[in-house]
Amino acid sequence: MNRYWTLSARPLPAWPGPDTFELREAPIPEPGPGQALTRTIYVSLDPYQWGYKRRGVEPPGAPCHARTVAQVVESRMEGFEAGDLVFNTNGWAEYGLMGEGVQRPAYMIPRKLDPTLGRISQAVGVLGMLGLTAYAGMILMADPRPGETVVVSAASGGVGQIAGQLARLRGARVVGIAGREEKCRFVVEELGFDAGVSHLSPTLPQDLRAAVAGGVDVYFENVGGAVFDAVLPLFNRGARMTICGLIAHYGDEAGVDARAALMRRGEAIFRKRGVSVRDLFVGDFVAEHEHAFLRDMSAWVASGDVRYREDIREGLEVVPAAFIEMLQGGNFGKMLVRASPDPTL
């Protein structure tokens, strides 16, 4: 049998709780022509998955969506054979099909993994969509220059830790904003950021002002809310802001446009100081930039120029708890669940 997690009921609460999901069983699917059956090894847990659910993207009763690292069990799909390690989208499930007719976001194209590039779990992280998100938002969009001051929020998380290190590789001064003290220390001591500031501190605006000293030239926004409000007055003339995500708002009421509200709050300062704001959607960069990204990022990871922390939990049964924890900042590094043994370890 195939075990998988699905949404238990609608309407959904603002933020998920233990009752939001239920574990079901169904026969393991048979691959049709042009399809392969794969067994999930790693399930990637990402904040956007909550947005998917709230927007009703997943059909009722279907396994919750997720990017996964998996191994081919049986293949009727050209170019794939049993034993191959792949990136695909099995979701919160032990088994899934890939190939013809299998629904997935257009830019999440199943591919074979090359285990010599890095750990296979990194294919849903630093060597996959998260790495490309950081690369696109920092290098291709914000383009920090030596000596500039860059601020990254959710700085110890999957995207944030990579984005900050890329800015540092460009010679910028990097300040990370994170939650717990150990996360703020980690970005400085392990990742080489110049400073780490906690958004849990009641004096966040003052702490951030002191940490950035001469103001902010680039802001990589993952959060919104009070964190954005602390950065806003510190923007320098000609600063650039990449809106990657607004996780503080993923539980906002339906119809509330968090981005529009943020732009309204920033409007006067953006205009007066010529701050340019750009929205990032990683899917826009896959076709043109994935190849160069993988080449560059795998070299940086191999050389140690980019370090990458994962938070791996064990067993499909812990997926909802790990997901809820991640949304509340309980993860320390990129959140993953190992659903079956990793044959490369």
Dihedral of the alpha carbons of 139, 143, 145, 149, in degrees to the nearest 10: -90
Q: Does 158 bind ligand NDP (CB under 6 A)?
A: yes
Q: How far apart are the first and last CA of the chain?
A: 26
Closest distance to ligand NDP from the beta carbon of 73 (Å): 28
Which of residues 166, 282, 306, 336 is near ligand NDP by CB under 6 A? 282
Task: Encode 190-240 in three state secondary structure.
Answer: CCCCCEEEECCCCCHHHHHHHHHCCCEEEEEECCCHHHHHHHHHHEEEEEE
Stretch that binds ligand NDP, among 28-36, 59-67, 78-86, 243-251 (CB under 6 A): 243-251
C-alpha separations of 226 from 86, 106, 221, 231, 262 in Å? 39, 34, 12, 9, 10
Residue 212 CB, nearest approach to ligand NDP (Å): 17
CA 295, 297, 301: angle at the middle one, nearest 5? 120
Closer CB to ligand NDP, 65 or 334, in the complex:
334
Tokens of 60: 């009722």
Dist. CA 165–CA 159, nearest whole Å = 10
> Cβ–Cβ contacts within 10 Å for residue 26, how many?
13
Binding test (CB under 6 A) with ligand NDP, winner from 144, 157, 164, 196: 157
The one segment of 108-116, 206-214, 270-278, 330-338 that binds ligand NDP by CB under 6 A = 330-338
Please classify residue 175 by burial: count the beta carbons closer than 10 Å to its beta carbon, then call 0-12 exposed, 13-18 middle and 19+ buried.
Answer: buried
Q: How many residues bind ligand NDP (CB under 6 A)?
A: 32
Residue 296 binds ligand NDP, judged by CB under 6 A = no
HSE toward the beta carbon, residue 123, CA cutoff 13 A: 27
Stretch that binds ligand NDP, among 27-35, 44-52, 69-77, 205-213 (CB under 6 A): 44-52
Task: For the segment 80-139, give every residue that binds ligand NDP (CB under 6 A).
Answer: 130, 133
Give the one residue of 97, 222, 232, 324 binding ligand NDP; rule: CB under 6 A.
222
Examine residue 165 and tell whether it contacts ligand NDP (CB under 6 A): no
Does 324 bind ligand NDP (CB under 6 A)? Our answer is no
Question: Per CB under 6 A, does 16 bind ligand NDP?
Answer: no
**Given candidates 71, 89, 122, 331, which one binds ligand NDP under the rule CB under 6 A?**
331
HSE (CB half, 13 Å, CA atoms) of 93? 29
Please tell me the distance from the alpha carbon of residue 245 to that of residue 250, in angstroms, as a whole number.
Answer: 9
Instruction: Report, in Å, the least distance between residue 60 CB and ligand NDP.
Output: 24
- Non-local (6+) Cβ contacts of 94 within 8 A are 2, 3, 4, 39, 40, 316, 339, 340
- In the complex, the smallest distance separating the C-beta of residue 83 from ligand NDP, rounded to whole angstroms, is 29
d(CA 323, CA 325): 5
Token pair of 80 as six digits? 């794939």
Q: Which stretch binds ligand NDP (CB under 6 A): 222-230, 254-262, 267-275, 299-307?
A: 222-230
Q: How far is the CB of 84 from ligand NDP (least distance, A)?
A: 26
| Minimum separation from the CB atom of position 150 to ligand NDP (A) | 16
Give the binding site for ligand NDP (CB under 6 A).
Answer: 46-48, 130, 133, 154, 156-160, 178-180, 183, 199, 222-223, 225, 227, 244-245, 247-248, 280-282, 326, 329, 331, 334-335
